[in-house]
């Protein structure tokens, strides 16, 4: 019964709109196929290699993202999913930087610097352009399509003055709505992943895509970081999957006469 | 009254009488023909025959290009077919013809949600 309420409300809304428009109409369910953004026909397998992750310490963005994408791809993709250890990409990036840049004067050039903001990711970006490294990884795993990238998951504070509508009644009992500005303490999380698809045969980047999702809670609400992470990943997974395979989006439209 | 002016008025009267008599039924006929195509398209679409529906609504849009319902329905059929580019064009035509139509606006907003997924924020 509860599940039917939104459907009933939707039908009532459509009926009200029909009355307003004065025309004949009929609702129809549709299924929209979204073609994949990337041609993956040349690959038999896919390797979610790992990610350079930063932000909060409460969630290991590298491990969790790799695990989640592998499990989603197992259900949604026809390609074989390579099971391997998650690559420690930060260490690999530092090593390759140290080899190429001998002028580094840091005390311990191999010690990873904390990634707290998007700017901190820049020092590791060169890894994704390292064709030799990715070609070597490709050879190791029978030349799969490689998925890698960066994941920034951080807490955020959005406290401030917000405007909202409030009902007021005058001395005659007449109702009206007035905008009221109130101070609201809100905290939450922001997730900014960048997925990079690399050809395991050549080591070259085929495609990359940035996402941004955020969630805010009132101060009296608490949500564990990991559950917020999954909530935000859940929102962008259809877009990620639509890069590799055809996705069908179900919906309803109104036909007019 | 000057003869040239008189003649112009006579032509104007003739045009208004015979011109509208001739054109008005044509417009009505076009809309009736287009409506028949639209109705049949709806019937077949409801049975899942979307190819036939596209054919009917495309004909309706040719017969009467000002018929917003034909463009709206065509946009829906293109969505079902996965042709989002054509769907956008048809929705925009429908909205241009009837900007205040809440059904077309609602359909278009739902379409845009899907279409935005296929247009990533940043690609290489």
Phi-psi region of A153 (alpha: psi -120 to 50; beta: other; left: phi over 0): beta
Q: What is the pLDDT, as a whole number, of residue B26?
A: 63
Residues in Cβ contact with B11 at an 8 Å cutoff, skipping those fewer than 6 apart: none
* CB-nearest partner of A21 from B39, B103, B121: B103
The two beta strands, A186-199 and A80-81, are unpaired
Indicate the pLDDT class of residue B124, thresholds 50, 70 and 90: very low
Instruction: Report the complex ipTM.
Output: 0.78
- The per-residue pLDDT for range B53-80, each reduced to its tens digit, is 999 999 999 999 999 999 999 999 999 9
Structural domains for chain A:
1-33+248-257 (no CATH), 38-157+187-241 (3.40.50)
Is B120's CB within 8 Å of A255's CB? no
pLDDT tens-digit series, residues A25-42? 999 999 999 888 898 989
Q: What local confidence, expressed as pLDDT, does residue A77 receive?
A: 84
Q: Which residues pair with A149 in a beta bridge?
A: A51, A195
Q: Which of B82, B99, B105 to mutate to test the interface with A (most CBs of A within 10 A)?
A: B82
Considering only the beta carbons, identify the residue of A207, A242, A254 that sits closest to B124: A207
- 3-state helix vs strand vs coil in chain B, percent to 5: 80, 0, 20
Range B25-31 average pLDDT: 75
**H helix runs in chain A, sequence order:** 4-21, 61-76, 89-100, 118-121, 131-140, 225-241
B119 reaches A (C-beta below 8 A): no
Give how far A100 is from chain B: nearest CA, Å. 25
Residue A218 forms contact with B (CB below 8 Å): no
The top-scoring range by mean pLDDT among A5-14, A186-195, B52-61 is B52-61
The pTM score is 0.66
């Amino acid at each position: 019964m509860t599940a039917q309420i939104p459907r009933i409300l939707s039908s009532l809304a459509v009926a009200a709109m029909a009355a307003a428009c004065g025309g004949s109409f009929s609702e129809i369910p549709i299924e929209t196929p979204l073609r994949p953004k990337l041609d993956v026909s040349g690959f038999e397998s896919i390797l979610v290699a790992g990610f350079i992750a930063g932000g909060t310490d409460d969630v290991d963005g590298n491990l969790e993202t790799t695990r989640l994408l592998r499990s989603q791809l197992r259900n949604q993709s026809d390609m074989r999913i390579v099971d391997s250890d998650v690559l420690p990409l930060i260490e690999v990036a530092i090593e390759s930087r140290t080899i190429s840049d001998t002028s580094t004067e840091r005390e311990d050039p191999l010690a990873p610097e904390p990634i707290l903001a998007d700017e901190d990711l820049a020092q590791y970006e060169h890894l994704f352009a390292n064709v030799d490294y990715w070609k070597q990884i490709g050879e190791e795993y029978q030349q799969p399509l490689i998925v890698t990238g960066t994941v920034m998951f951080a807490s955020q504070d959005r406290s401030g003055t917000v405007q909202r509508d409030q009902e007021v009644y005058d001395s005659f009992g007449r109702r009206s709505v007035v905008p009221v500005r109130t101070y609201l303490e809100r905290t939450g999380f922001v997730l900014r992943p960048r997925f990079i698809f690399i050809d395991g045969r050549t080591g070259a980047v085929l495609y990359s895509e940035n996402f941004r999702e955020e969630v805010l809670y009132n101060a009296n609400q608490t949500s564990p970081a990991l559950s917020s992470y999954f909530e935000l990943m859940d929102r962008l997974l259809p877009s990620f999957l639509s890069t590799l395979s055809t996705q069908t989006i179900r919906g309803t439209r109104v036909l007019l006469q | 009254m000057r003869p040239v002016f008189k003649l112009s008025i006579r032509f104007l009267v003739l045009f208004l009488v015979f011109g509208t008599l001739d054109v008005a039924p044509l417009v009505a006929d076009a809309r009736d023909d287009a409506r028949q195509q639209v109705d049949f398209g709806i019937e077949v679409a409801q049975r899942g025959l979307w190819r036939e529906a596209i054919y009917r609504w495309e004909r309706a849009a040719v017969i009467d290009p000002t018929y917003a319902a034909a463009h709206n329905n065509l946009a829906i059929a293109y969505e079902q077919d996965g042709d989002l580019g054509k769907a956008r064009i048809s929705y925009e035509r429908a909205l241009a013809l009837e900007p205040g139509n809440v059904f077309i606006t609602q359909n278009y907003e739902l379409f845009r949600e899907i279409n935005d997924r296929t247009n990533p924020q940043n690609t290489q």
